[in-house]
Structure 1
Amino acid sequence: MLPLNPALAATFRPPVMEARRWLEGLTFPPERPLINLSQAAPVEPPPEALRRAMAEAALQRPDAHLYGPVLGRPDLREAVARDWSRAYAGTIRADEVAITQGCNQAFCAAIQTLARAGDEVILPTPWYFNHKMWLDMQGIRAVPLRCGPGMLPDAAEAARLVSDRSRAIVLVSPNNPSGAEYPAELLRGFFDLARSRGLALVLDETYRDFDAREGAPHDLFADPDWGDTLIHLYSFSKAYRLTGHRVGALIANPARMAEVEKFLDTVAICAGQLGQIGAAWGMANLRDWLAGERAEILARRRAMAQGMAALPGWRVKGCGAYFAWVEHPFAMPAPELAQRLLRQAGVLLLPGSMFMPADDPEAARHLRIAFANADRDGIAALMRRLEAFRP
């Protein structure tokens, strides 16, 4: 028997892939097709103009097929620095931006620079499962921070969890899986806590383009010393439907960027060139199109909230960006309920147990609904099926 890394072996399997395995052997009649709300990703390709720009680059630009700089193409790094500086009323330089193979890799890179086996990282629950998986693989303890009303974590409660092994606090806003949009003052509270205790605040803003609020979601980049505390993560996958091209971003101070470069060079050398070209083209040309995408997601959010409010016994705990975090009314654990909903109602959702510690009793009561994968007619169909469902 070959050796096996025990930390990797102890890490749970990818939840979305587990849910897909539930589909094996099942069929769904044409009059009641599967409603798949398990994965938070666009199901349509990028807009045609973006695809044409990428196709032209593939044909006309030899560098689109070669290794590029480890930290990303200069034009994309400069565009991110410029746009983020304007959006957040702060100062971000291109040398403080790294382009990664998706936001998951950005998270892995950030944690690799911060912590080692035996250290601790504070994660609000429910957490994004890939964050928990990476910490588990590295032998880093994820310290759960339970969210309160509105699915918001509390900095004072987090302060009580800080130990001499703590290295970072991780926040996701708008949140996956709860959809909660963290107020600016909440983020400032966590920033101040992290700074006072010598920790990093890792802020994942993958879904910032679909925040219902206008203007900057926080003012952390306006702090002249933001780089001493803040590491910011972003994904181009949702904004421009570039999921298959894996393009993300990490923003940190230059000293940390030197460490990030070591990690990225080792695991990927560089992010894919075509995806980076597409992201830069999208930033320059798709502002109005992206505004339309945001408006559509916000309309789906309203439809989701209104539909759930009319369902007896169901309770929406958080709703925003791509997600609703809901409490179900049935006397069975969420994993069993999720599989019954699939078999009896043709609805694929993820149970709360995939986003929370195994010993948390709240996990059995909740489901995540990735409603951005359904249009408003699809959301209406979901409501009819949930209303008619009898376990």
Structure 2
Amino acid sequence: MDRSVYAGVGKKEDTAGIAKRVAQISVSAIKQMPVLASKLEECISLGQGIPSFGTPSFIRKRIIAALENDDLIGKYSLQPGIPELKREIAGYLRRDRGIAVDPESELFVSCGAMEALAGVISTIVERDDEVLIPSPNYSSHIEQILFAEGKPVFVPLIEEEGWRLDMEGFRKALTKKTKAILLCNPMNPTGAVFPEKDLKALAEMALDRNLFIISDEAYDFLLYDRLPHFSLASIPELKENLITCKSFSKMYCMTGWRVGYMVAAARIVDQVLKVHDAFAICAPTISQ
């Protein structure tokens, strides 16, 4: 079945000679719809997660100063990211999130959380590996798994309980091929913030089965109704099994700047950096 929205407007894909891992995936409808809408007048987007206001002035002023005075701004940064930024990220995680991270070995700066997620999945998922995903979920996560030749296995959220994780559903979905769990918290698209109790149960299950948990936390600051955000990275025992991806896109209105970061055990970071090097070299220096 052609999952591309383009099929509905008469555009057919010619995949002759194209690798199956690419031919089987689609640009997500979230990205395709703005392209279609750009051909019309007075369309209002209620879909994609783009802040409605601009990048803060203090960031833009710093960029202007760098463009005028920093001769290195147009060059590659170090592959894992600018050391000063990495130290600032580690300080923020320790100060505001209570998460201890070695900036030298346990994090790197990526081209947004999306590139970090794609790199992680390409690093740990092999052909026919199964990745458990709460459903509904962010569509691009599915394409990333398929591109790595893995199999997304959907575990429906419990809608009547505020889109909570279905722990029994996760347990039933486990097989010998299960390699990882991919989680978005707070959840895109439901907006649910998963309770600490449920997340700890998920962590216990992952440790028991030696599974990876990939945690997409791009929305961790968007909290309403006084709901607390619990990060799995605050569980020390989970360190060897957890990869956390975060982004500046939403927090600082920098969706087009393409800068985020990944946090994990040093041995995992070392491996994901191979993919990062092959596909991107480094995050944009000007954005860092």
TM-score between the two structures when normalised by the length of structure 1: 0.66
Q: Give the counterpart of 2:130 among 102, 110, 120.
A: 120
Task: Quote the offset at 1:65 in angstroms.
Answer: 1.3
Change in CA separation of 1:76 and 1:216 when aligned onto 2, cut-off 3 Å: farther
Deviation digits for residues 273-297 of structure 1 (CA, Å, limit 9, x no counterpart): 1111xxxxxxxxxxxxxxxxxxxxx
Gaps (5+ residues) in structure 2? 1-14
Q: Shift in Å at residue 7 of structure 1?
A: 2.3
Aligned partners of 1:6 and 1:221: how far apart in 2? 35
Deviation at 1:80, TM superposition (A): 1.2
Note the C-alpha offset of 1:169: 0.4
Equivalent residues of 1:155, 1:193 under 8 A apart:
no
Partner of 2:73: 64
Q: Which moved more, 1:79-88 or 1:200-209?
A: 79-88
SS of the residue corresponding to residue 240 of structure 1 reads coil
Deviation track 1:130-182 (CA, whole Å, cap 9, x = no partner) reads 10011112221000000002112222321211111111101111111111111
SS in 2 for 1:92: coil
- Separation in 1, partners of 2:236, 2:193: 25
Indicate the SS of the match to 1:130: helix
- Structure 1 counterpart of 2:237, which letter? D
SS state at 2:168 partner: helix
Deviates more, 1:198-207 or 1:152-161: 152-161
Q: Match for residue 281 of structure 2?
A: 269
**1:173-200 C-alpha deviation (Å, 9 max, x unpaired):** 1111111111111111111111111101
Q: What secondary structure, in the 3-state scheme, does the structure 1 residue paired with 2:72 have?
A: helix
How far is the alpha carbon of 1:75 from its aligned partner? 1.1
The aligned length equals: 271
Percent of pairs identical after alignment?
25
> Are 2:22 and 1:8 aligned?
yes
Matched, 1:170 2:179: no
Pair 1:136 & 2:146 matched: yes
Q: Is the 8 A contact 1:12 1:133 kept in 2?
A: yes
- Partner Cα distance (1:47, 1:17) in 2: 24
Alignment correspondent of 2:98? 89
Cα separation, 2, equivalents of 1:78 and 1:213: 32
Contact in 2 for aligned 1:200/1:231 (Cα 8 Å): yes
**TM-superposed deviation, 1:14:** 2.3
Q: CA deviation at 1:24?
A: 6.2
8 Å contact 2:122–2:275 — kept in the other structure?
A: yes
Counterpart selection for 2:58 from 49, 53, 72? 49
Give me the whole-angstrom Cα distance separating, in 2, the residues matched to 1:170 and 1:221. 14
Q: Which runs of 4+ in 1 moved over 6 A?
A: none
Picking from 247, 250, 272, the partner of 1:235 is: 247
- Distance, in Å, in 2 between the alignment partners of 1:205 and 1:18 is 24
Do 1:58 and 1:64's aligned partners in 2 also have CA atoms closer than 8 Å? yes
Alignment-mate amino acid for residue 51 of structure 1: R
Q: Which residue of the other structure, out of 87, 97, 100, is the alignment partner of 1:78?
A: 87
| 1:188-267 superposed matches below 5 A | 188-212=200-224, 217-218=229-230, 220-267=232-279
Q: How far off is 1:25 after superposition?
A: 5.5
The equivalent residue for 1:362 is none
Residue 156 of structure 2: aligned partner:
146
Computing the radius of gyration from Cα coordinates, the structure with the larger value is 1
Cα deviation code 1:359-391 (max 9, x no counterpart): xxxxxxxxxxxxxxxxxxxxxxxxxxxxxxxxx
Do the aligned residues in 2 keep the contact of 1:7 with 1:137 (CA within 8 Å)?
Answer: yes
Instruction: Please identify which structure carries the higher helix content.
Output: 1
1:37 to 37, 46, 68: 46
Q: Deviations over 1:239-287 (max 9, x none)?
A: 11111110011000001111011011110100001111xxxxxxxxxxx
Distance 1:65 1:216 in 2: 40
Tell me how far apart the structure 1 counterparts of residues 73 and 62 of structure 2 sit (CA, whole Å): 12
1:36 offset after TM fit, Å? 1.5
The residue correspondences of 1:177-192 to structure 2 (distance < 5 A) are 177-192=189-204
Cα 1:220–1:175 shift into 2, 3 Å: closer
Deviations 1:39-72 (A, max 9, x none): 1112332122210101111221122111111111
**Equivalent residue for 1:101, pick from 107, 111, 134:** 111
Give the RMSD, CA atoms, in angstroms. Answer: 1.9
Could you tell me how far 1:16 is from its partner in structure 2?
Answer: 2.2
For residue 158 of structure 1, what is the aligned residue in structure 2?
A: 170
User: What is the CA–CA distance in structure 2 between the aligned matches of 1:27 and 1:63, rounded to whole Å?
Assistant: 41
Structure 1 gap segments, 5+ residues each = 29-33, 277-391
